[in-house]
Chain A
């Protein structure tokens, strides 16, 4: 188990190296630079700016400097937010994004799994149909349609929740963003749980348990669910990716000062260092979450657990 964890952790290093190199190379290949304003800068000022940011150095030197900075946790200066470093923007945005992301995943687990179990137990009855139609809708309706709709209903018509905005510590600001992010994941989890539970319930060892006279509650909780939830665990990695991607839209629509909004702003401003830094942080988050999901999976699945011990 430990060997497996260490091996997976080491396996993430080349991926991270590829990400850093790719994003560096791509932004340096770009035609046009960060200082291309609508009014061209005088050449002397331009040269000074480029020297100040180290852009006059050979590309290998720039890359070495950037990687050296990354290792010290320094993502370089932001080209457009002149008074901020990228690291400052990341540390200010990360807590907001992590808060809504974690809350959305927890909410999705809390609602999606029971909904799927319920649908599986009521197979082909009305509840099942209802849960499944909701699931299909949740997968097909994109976050950027859900978000304005929820804001319209709960913010403008019903006036229950703020339409947008962010005041530190005010929880009502977080409800709509978190629900918006969670809905697609709830839908997918419900569909996944239902499918895998239906399959497990058909297995011979469940029939055997029933023949031994165990209560259906005990069969469900002790025998069927643990196995049925394995695909759910392996979906947690992609789910985290979906939530992180969705947070770009959600933070923009609801005006939350998270990393996603900085990234979108950086992309609109062609702020290379900001975009690179954000993408690297997002990539690290995704790799970490995928790794965590895989480790939980390996720990839960006795087949993998035993195999790794050998």
Chain B
């Protein structure tokens, strides 16, 4: 597949010229690293209460770089933990929806006909359901654990992916190399797995990058309302919910996690836009 190699090399070159996308990618890498190892480098644990320093503003007290909350817990450690939880849920839920969406769409698009119509009808019906409301029902039913949240978000997140992949697969199956594979005696499963799916990677990568911020927003939305991640576990959503009532006297308790969340979503959106421009030359 020499043409694919060329496409990827071109894409990398185009992406590296997009300064906003590169900066976003660097910042995202930094935030991931901070979320992964940051908490173990700091002096405080996330549920440790510093009785002498409650609701201290940022930079006012040595050790508490971003201040403490109303209970004297270090805000930096808690925000990094929240970032870790939010990022893990977002990445895992995106993987879940990626796996379902790509296989569903690729099979429907490749088989066409009645199977395709039936499979896409399922997608259409689920699409009309109010997603957030079903995520709420699922968390009500199966309890408010990170695992429920993950499955509930992933179970609905694959619909758009399935549509995109199906469209691409419909176009791909008309190409000569698929005919060649059929002539060569490859079975349906092999053609879908080895010839259709690898050629879908471009749009799939772009859309996954754009799915992550959506998942982050849904998760933090749920946690903000109290039906997502529960205390003492921190997520960006429940940290913001913690900070909102304190904003009059201690605005940093809201500002630190909110700023972190907004930055995260911004970076993913910019990176996704950059990837789309890089992988889809037709746009220019």
- Given contacts A156-B248, A249-B224, whether A145 and B140 have CB atoms under 8 Å apart is no
What string of 1s and 0s marks CB contacts (under 8 Å) between A97-123 and chain B? 000000000000000000000000000
Cα A156 to Cα B262 with chains together (Å)? 23
Cross-chain contact of A141 among B138, B237, B262 (Cβ < 8 A): B262
Interface assignment of B139: CB less than 8 Å from any CB of chain A: yes
Which residues of chain B from 119 to 139 have any CB-CB distance to chain A below 8 Å in the complex? 125, 128-130, 132-134, 136-139
Interface assignment of A41: CB less than 8 Å from any CB of chain B: no
Interface residue count on the B side (C-beta < 8 Å): 38
Query: Are B244's CB and A148's CB within 8 A?
Result: yes
**B203 nearest CB across to chain A (Å):** 19
- Given contacts A22-B134, A140-B269, A282-B133, whether A15 and B125 have CB atoms under 8 Å apart is yes
Interface assignment of A263: CB less than 8 Å from any CB of chain B: yes
Query: Are A268's CB and B227's CB within 8 A?
Result: yes
Query: Are A30's CB and B141's CB within 8 A?
Result: yes
Residue of A nearest to B213 (CB): A140
Cross-chain contact of A267 among B130, B139, B213, B248 (Cβ < 8 A): B139
Q: Within 8 Å CB of A245, what residues of B? A: 130, 132-133, 221
Query: Are B226's CB and A244's CB within 8 A?
Result: no
Interface assignment of B261: CB less than 8 Å from any CB of chain A: yes
Query: Are A279's CB and B225's CB within 8 A?
Result: no
**B246 nearest CB across to chain A (Å):** 10
Q: Within 8 Å CB of A276, what residues of B? A: 137
Cα A266 to Cα B250 with chains together (Å)? 30
Cα A151 to Cα B248 with chains together (Å)? 10
**A14 nearest CB across to chain B (Å):** 7
Interface assignment of B234: CB less than 8 Å from any CB of chain A: no
Interface assignment of A252: CB less than 8 Å from any CB of chain B: yes
- Given contacts A144-B220, A145-B240, whether A264 and B227 have CB atoms under 8 Å apart is yes
Cα A141 to Cα B125 with chains together (Å)? 29
**B120 nearest CB across to chain A (Å):** 14
Interface assignment of A95: CB less than 8 Å from any CB of chain B: no
**A221 nearest CB across to chain B (Å):** 29
Interface assignment of B177: CB less than 8 Å from any CB of chain A: no
Interface assignment of A270: CB less than 8 Å from any CB of chain B: yes
Cross-chain contact of A18 among B129, B220, B243, B266 (Cβ < 8 A): B129
Residue of B nearest to A14 (CB): B125
Query: Are A263's CB and B262's CB within 8 A?
Result: no
Cα A40 to Cα B132 with chains together (Å)? 32
Q: Within 8 Å CB of B165, what residues of A? A: none
Cα A276 to Cα B136 with chains together (Å)? 10
Residue of A nearest to B248 (CB): A156
Q: Within 8 Å CB of A181, what residues of B? A: none
Query: Are A136's CB and B220's CB within 8 A?
Result: no
Cα A31 to Cα B207 with chains together (Å)? 35
Interface contact tally, CB-CB below 8 A: 113
Q: Within 8 Å CB of A140, what residues of B? A: 213, 262, 265-266, 269
What string of 1s and 0s marks CB contacts (under 8 Å) between B249-284 and chain A? 001001000100110011001000000000000000
Cα A12 to Cα B143 with chains together (Å)? 31
Cα A245 to Cα B266 with chains together (Å)? 21
**A62 nearest CB across to chain B (Å):** 16
Q: Within 8 Å CB of A275, what residues of B? A: 136-137, 140
Interface assignment of B29: CB less than 8 Å from any CB of chain A: no
Query: Are B269's CB and A249's CB within 8 A?
Result: no
**A142 nearest CB across to chain B (Å):** 5
Interface assignment of A241: CB less than 8 Å from any CB of chain B: yes
Query: Are A26's CB and B227's CB within 8 A?
Result: no
Interface assignment of A9: CB less than 8 Å from any CB of chain B: no
**A157 nearest CB across to chain B (Å):** 9
Which residues of chain A from 287 to 306 have any CB-CB distance to chain B below 8 Å in the complex? 287, 290
Query: Are B133's CB and A252's CB within 8 A?
Result: no
- Given contacts A148-B247, A283-B129, A286-B128, whether A267 and B261 have CB atoms under 8 Å apart is no
**B126 nearest CB across to chain A (Å):** 8
What string of 1s and 0s marks CB contacts (under 8 Å) between A22-34 and chain B? 1100110111100
Residue of A nearest to B138 (CB): A26
Closest 5 CB pairs of A and B: A30-B141, A148-B244, A279-B133, A140-B265, A144-B224
Given contacts A14-B125, A245-B221, A248-B221, 13 further A-B contacts (CB under 8 A): A15-B129, A22-B129, A140-B265, A148-B244, A148-B254, A152-B247, A248-B132, A263-B136, A267-B225, A268-B226, A279-B137, A286-B128, A286-B130
Chain B residues packing against A (C-beta within 8 Å): 125, 128-130, 132-134, 136-143, 213, 217, 220-221, 224-227, 237, 240-241, 243-244, 247-248, 251, 254, 258, 261-262, 265-266, 269
* Complex A-B: 14 CB contacts under 8 Å: A31-B142, A140-B269, A142-B221, A143-B221, A148-B243, A152-B247, A248-B221, A264-B225, A264-B226, A267-B136, A272-B140, A283-B130, A283-B133, A287-B128
